[in-house]
């Protein structure tokens, strides 16, 4: 029996939050080796020369439909390897997974060619076929990123540029029609990776008889840098959004291959949390993702892509100037020749902060990958219409805001909101939060960044599609906390229950033992997410959940026991819709 340990601040690092406002939002990195410069960081054992297979036209050519090959195991590319309980043929060759207690795990599957050398800062190229049988038992490295301490100082550089891999957990390979759940990790589009133990899909796949997929995508400047020299290389004269195109290619890989893993390519749920939710919403609005998923969940992330002008002013242009490549004779070649360490440490680095109100790296409206903001596309009905779900947690920024006196809180609001500060303080008076400046600022930032954005997105989707829309508010805080720790439904907490990731809660050798309420809400959330993937409706015998009606602003209150709501933080969200729309 595992030793029960109270749940407290340590959990924050496992869930993409830190205890310091200056550095919150980063995922746990304890499982990642220091960054290497090897071109084959995933350890692909095949020594044979790969043969070309697949096309990138769907990613780069605006006149292309984007259709990719749907047959697997072409001649000379694993066709001579017999499928079996742990062996699956794919468009990239035959793979051998690892049998676990209740599922088969396939880890570190390359879905794209390594984005190295001339492929850096370009749309991804589909994985070429590799003959023979390739082991798929080790998680691939996360994409390059830095780790910072509570003071914001870089303490490590993590990952490998050869990082475009995905992972599959399935109850059984071969013919099947199981729902497929594809997860996009968070981390501010600058940190995180599918190697995080929080995202292990084995328990979810086994408990709900579904196929679970997690993936890596390029982060920071490598994933989202815009520059005129890069745009000049594109048929559409656009740059950036490479990390989003990685996700599109991974979804295409799922469409082409998941049937051999026992999944149904016509019942694919795309769900993401934090920055992964931002990306999910962008894919809802992107024509590049049309037909690649049939439902989507946006968990604790805004639908708020910036214009190219604002995006470049916020982060891309200052970063390019700091790089020195903007004035080089060949800026694109200069960028592709930069050392990873230099790329990661240039300012602004976009390191995420769950409580900060600014934005770093991420999707932007480029007129091609993202023709218009997702909110606008959903409102107009020009998005990828499907059953959609939007939600947030009750105390999103609780782990990202340090203790504040009332005077400190009011000074922070004054400095942040300027001429609007008096109205903001009238809307969020410290007295309503026990004269606790920290609690008041948690409420303010949770509403502004997450809760009100969920309402805004649900309303937009409800206006622009006939398919049902659902909204949730996650308020569970029934976990066992360490002494003197304040319990809250903080950013990322719901992921522990969706993935039943008890081993990810505390650092080794400590182990969290879930209590009865933890187990109950985990089963409830897993069932709802699996039903939504299977049918487009999350309701079940254990959970009443009506479709969203904008006039009622209704949804499911995810707590133990669950409840329903009509309106969440309505007065506050009306205020932000008036003074900070979008």
- Whether 4 is in a domain gets the answer no
Domains: count for the chain = 1
Where do the H-state alpha helices sit in 465-546? 493-498, 516-535
- Whether 214 is in a domain gets the answer yes
Backbone angles phi, psi at 519, to 5 degrees: -65, -40
Q: Model's pTM, two decimal places?
A: 0.90
- Whether 276 is in a domain gets the answer yes
Among all chains, which residue has been given the structure tokens 């790329």? 343
> Strands 364-365 and 104-110: what pairing?
unpaired
The residues carrying an active-site annotation are 274, 396, 491
178-184 β-sheet, strand order: 98-99, 104-110, 165-170, 211-215, 178-184, 263-273, 295-299, 388-393, 469-474, 554-558, 563-566
The DSSP bridge partners found for residue 156 are 147
- Whether 9 is in a domain gets the answer no
Cα–Cα distance, 458 to 462 (Å, whole number): 6
CA 125, 213, 352, 426 dihedral sign is: positive
Tell me the pLDDT of the chain (582 aa) as tens digits: 333 333 433 333 333 333 333 333 333 332 323 333 333 333 333 333 333 323 333 333 333 333 443 445 445 577 889 999 999 999 999 999 999 999 999 999 999 999 999 999 999 999 999 999 999 999 999 999 999 998 899 999 999 999 999 999 999 999 889 999 999 999 999 999 999 999 999 999 999 999 999 999 999 999 999 999 999 999 999 999 999 999 999 999 999 999 999 999 999 999 999 999 999 999 999 999 999 999 999 999 999 899 999 999 999 999 999 999 999 999 999 999 999 999 999 999 999 999 998 889 999 999 999 999 999 999 999 999 999 999 999 999 999 999 999 999 999 999 999 999 999 999 999 999 999 999 999 999 999 999 999 999 999 999 999 999 999 999 999 999 988 889 999 999 999 999 999 999 998 899 999 999 999 999 999 999 999 999 999 999 999 999 999 999 999 999 999 999 999 999 999 999 999 876
Burial 416-446 (b: 16+ CB within 10 A, else e): bbeeebeebbebbebeebeebbbbbbbbbbb
Given its phi and psi angles, is residue 208 left (phi above 0), alpha (psi -120 to 50 degrees) or beta? alpha
User: What residues make up the domain containing 431?
Assistant: 22-579
- Whether 215 is in a domain gets the answer yes
Where do the H-state alpha helices sit in 232-288? 242-257, 275-285
Give whole-number Cα distances, 431 to 197, 269, 405, 434, in Å: 40, 43, 12, 5
- Whether 183 is in a domain gets the answer yes
- Whether 2 is in a domain gets the answer no
- Whether 1 is in a domain gets the answer no
Cα–Cα distance, 219 to 101 (Å, whole number): 33
Question: Is the preceding peptide bond at 90 cis, omega within 30 degrees of 0?
Answer: no
Cα–Cα distance, 277 to 289 (Å, whole number): 15
Q: Collect all residues with Cβ–Cβ distance below 8 Å to 50 and sequence separation of at least 6.
A: 128, 129, 130
- Specify the CATH number for the domain of residue 277: 3.40.50.1820
């Amino acid at each position: 029996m595992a030793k029960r340990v109270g749940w407290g601040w340590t959990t924050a690092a496992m869930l993409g939050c830190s205890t310091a406002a200056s550095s919150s939002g980063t995922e746990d990195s304890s499982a990642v080796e220091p960054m290497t410069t090897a071109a084959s960081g995933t350890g692909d054992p095949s020594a044979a020369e790969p043969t070309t297979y697949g096309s990138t036209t769907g990613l780069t050519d605006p006149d292309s439909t984007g259709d990719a090959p749907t047959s697997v195991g072409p001649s000379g590319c694993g066709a001579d390897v017999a499928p079996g309980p742990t062996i699956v043929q794919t468009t990239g060759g035959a793979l051998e997974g690892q049998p676990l207690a209740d599922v088969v795990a396939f880890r570190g599957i390359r879905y794209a060619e390594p984005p190295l050398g001339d492929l850096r800062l370009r749309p991804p190229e589909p994985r070429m076929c590799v003959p023979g049988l390739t082991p798929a038992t080790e998680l691939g490295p996360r994409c390059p990123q830095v780790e910072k301490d509570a003071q914001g100082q870089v303490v490590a550089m993590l990952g490998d540029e050869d990082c475009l891999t995905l992972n599959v957990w399935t109850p059984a390979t071969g013919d099947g029609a199981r729902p497929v759940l594809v997860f996009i990790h968070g981390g501010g589009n600058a940190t995180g990776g599918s190697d995080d133990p929080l995202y292990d899909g084995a328990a979810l796949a086994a408990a709900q008889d579904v196929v679970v997929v997690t993936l890596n995508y390029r982060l920071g400047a490598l994933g989202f840098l815009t520059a005129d020299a890069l745009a000049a290389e594109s048929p559409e004269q656009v740059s950036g959004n490479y990390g989003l195109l990685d996700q599109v290619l991974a979804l295409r890989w799922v469409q082409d291959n998941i049937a051999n893993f026992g999944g149904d390519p016509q019942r694919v749920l795309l769900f993401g949390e934090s920055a992964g939710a931002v990306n999910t919403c962008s894919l809802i609005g992107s024509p590049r993702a049309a037909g690649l998923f049939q439902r989507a969940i946006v968990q604790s992330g805004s639908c708020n892509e910036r214009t190219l002008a604002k995006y470049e002013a916020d982060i891309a242009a200052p970063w390019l100037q700091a790089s020195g490549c903007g004035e080089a004779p060949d800026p694109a070649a200069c960028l592709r020749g930069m050392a990873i360490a230099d790329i990661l440490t240039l300012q602004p680095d976009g390191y995420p902060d769950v409580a900060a109100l600014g934005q770093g790296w991420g999707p932007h409206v480029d007129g091609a990958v993202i023709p218009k903001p997702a909110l606008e596309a959903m409102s107009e009905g020009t998005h990828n219409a499907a059953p959609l779900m939007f939600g947030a947690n009750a105390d999103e920024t609780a782990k990202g805001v340090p203790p504040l006196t009332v005077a400190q809180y009011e000074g922070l609001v004054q400095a942040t909101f300027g001429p609007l500060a008096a109205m903001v303080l009238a809307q969020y008076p410290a007295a309503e939060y026990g004269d606790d400046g920290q609690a008041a600022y948690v409420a303010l930032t949770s509403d502004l960044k997450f809760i009100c954005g969920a309402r805004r997105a649900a309303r937009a989707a409800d206006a622009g599609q006939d398919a049902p829309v659902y909204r949730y508010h996650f308020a569970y805080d029934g976990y066992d906390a360490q002494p003197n720790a304040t319990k809250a439904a903080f950013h990322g907490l719901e992921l522990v229950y969706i993935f039943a990731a008890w081993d990810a809660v505390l650092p080794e050798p400590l182990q969290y033992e879930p209590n009865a309420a933890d187990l109950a809400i985990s089963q409830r959330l897993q069932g709802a997410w699996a039903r939504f993937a299977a049918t487009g409706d999350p309701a079940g015998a254990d959970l009443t959940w009506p479709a969203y009606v904008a006039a009622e602003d209704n949804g499911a209150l995810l707590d133990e026991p669950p409840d329903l709501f009509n309106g969440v933080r309505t007065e506050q969200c009306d205020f932000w819709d008036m003074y900070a729309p979008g």
